[in-house]
Amino acid sequence: MSGRPARQEDGESAALRHKEELSRRIKEQKVVVDELSNLKKNRKVYKQQPNSNIFFLADRTEMLSQCKNTLDELKKAHQELENSEKAKIKK
């Protein structure tokens, strides 16, 4: 067993899981943005309602804009996490 307390290891593993989840969501969002960017102008786009199996017709450009904003937010959160890890290492 390492010299670290169990709580610190739990915190580190939780932080690692959070970072991996964030990376997975960023990759997923990049695919969505790319798919929406490459759609032909006359194609229909549907948005799924949260916690439901119901889809509604949505505007392609509006959906692309929302997805890009979501991707930017995820990247920002990932960068903040990276910066906080670097700050911990420096201490």
Residue 9 pLDDT level (bands cut at 50, 70, 90): low
Instruction: Indicate the pTM of the whole model.
Output: 0.77
For the stretch 27-42, pLDDT in tens is: 999 999 999 999 999 9
Residue 39: which residues within 8 A CB-CB, separation 6 or more?
45, 60
Mean pLDDT for the chain overall = 87
**Is the model's pLDDT at 1 over the cut of 50?**
no
pLDDT attached to residue 47: 94
33, 25 in Cβ contact below 8 A? no
Write the single-letter amino acid at 12. E
In the three-class reduction of DSSP (H, G, I as helix; E, B as strand; rest coil), residue 43 is classed as coil
Q: CA 79, 83, 87 angle in degrees (round to 5)?
A: 170
87's tokens: 């700050």
